Structure 1
Amino acid sequence: MLREDQADELRKVPGAILWENRRYSATYFVDRSGLDQLWASSRVPIVHLGQIEAVDAVVGGTEADWTVAELFARPNVLAERIQSRGTGDEAERFAAVEQTLRLPVADVRIDTGALSIREAADVIERHMGDRP
């Protein structure tokens, strides 16, 4: 989490922010220094992105060998999940779902309505292990 003044400082540094998006009355960032800290600690960064342009910006803006996993759910599953959040912004969330295109390229695609969280994580982890 960043305070607005911290975000403003990052915006002044070329290449510091790989992706920025405003949605649901919030601003979301993928910052290079945050990813660098994870890699330096030997942890694998997991980045949740909802736009093709965001995936392209992060994958293209770093030298890492990313595994791109597209997670999706059927409309009825999404509707149930959005309503169960009770955040009061269901219309905005449904609109975001409608605007979100499927990734043209992904290493693995997972229907989250068909697999548990653990099963999905196992699929991704196995895929990562198969990479050179």
Structure 2
Amino acid sequence: MRQGILLYGPPAAGKDTITEALTELDARYVPFARLKIGTGKTDGYRMGTPEQLAELEARGDVIYRNERYGNIYVVDRPGLEQAMEGGRTPVVHLGQMEGMEQVTALFPAHWVRVLLWCSKETTAQRSPQRGDTDTAARLAAWDATQADLAAHQQAQWELRVDTDVTTPREAAQRIDDIVRATSPRP
């Protein structure tokens, strides 16, 4: 059975850093590159066009899409299928509970759901350190993520990690332990 990891959290909570630690821990973990239609940062994304998005939507291959920072971000069926080829385990980054719900409902796989959290002050410090030029927008997204999480208190998590006090390596090891313990047996 296919499996993946969903990392949910506010901007600068450590999704990229923990994903990097996971890939160093085990080669089967791969970052899932969402399709991005827009401008700005391209690293870690598959850049697309409005026409590509329209084609995916027409085929019913958009699992989840959201708009933030003036861009459109897409989790797509073909992208997830490719990321899972050869028994790989994609690590998908999401900042909206609706995305978590849609991915788990619309793409059959064993999903390990991880809540990564950091304080708003930490986001304010980390954002410019990682090269963001729109820290104010990242802080607004932090507020939106906190409100989103509060509205979904019933959400189920296999793991919650406070990245203010947990190293990326520790978080990756804890996630890997859960993936191994809950991996479906063939």
- Structure-1-length-normalised TM-score: 0.90
Equivalent residue, structure 2, for 1:7: 53
Query: What is the number of equivalent residue pairs in this alignment?
Result: 131
1:25 matched to 2:37? The reply is no
Equivalent residue, structure 1, for 2:101: 56
1:45 to 90, 108, 113: 90
1:95 matched to 2:140? The reply is yes
2:179 to 113, 124, 128: 128
The sequence identity of aligned pairs, in percent, is: 34
Using the alignment, how far apart are the partners of 1:86 and 1:130 within structure 2?
36
- Structure-2-length-normalised TM-score: 0.66
Unaligned ranges ≥5, structure 1: none
1:118 to 150, 164, 169: 169
Using the alignment, how far apart are the partners of 1:111 and 1:79 within structure 2?
16
Using the alignment, how far apart are the partners of 2:72 and 2:59 within structure 1?
18
Using the alignment, how far apart are the partners of 1:96 and 1:46 within structure 2?
21
Q: What secondary structure is seen at the aligned counterpart in 2 of 1:59?
A: helix
Give the aligned CA root-mean-square deviation in angstroms. 1.5
How far off is 1:86 after superposition? 4.1
How far off is 1:127 after superposition? 0.9
1:36 matched to 2:87? The reply is no
How far off is 1:3 after superposition? 2.0
Quick check: which one's strand share is greater?
Answer: 2
Higher relative contact order (CA 8 A, sep 6+): 2
Using the alignment, how far apart are the partners of 2:55 and 2:122 within structure 1?
39
User: Does structure 1 retain, via aligned residues, the 8 Å contact 2:69–2:137?
Assistant: yes
How far off is 1:88 after superposition? 2.5
Give the partner amino acid of 2:165: A
Unaligned ranges ≥5, structure 2: 1-45
Using the alignment, how far apart are the partners of 1:75 and 1:96 within structure 2?
10
Using the alignment, how far apart are the partners of 1:6 and 1:106 within structure 2?
33
Give the partner amino acid of 1:106: W
Using the alignment, how far apart are the partners of 2:66 and 2:53 within structure 1?
12
Q: What secondary structure is seen at the aligned counterpart in 1 of 2:93?
A: coil
How far off is 1:130 after superposition? 1.5
Q: What secondary structure is seen at the aligned counterpart in 2 of 1:10?
A: helix
2:156 to 105, 115, 129: 105
User: Does structure 1 retain, via aligned residues, the 8 Å contact 2:120–2:139?
Assistant: no
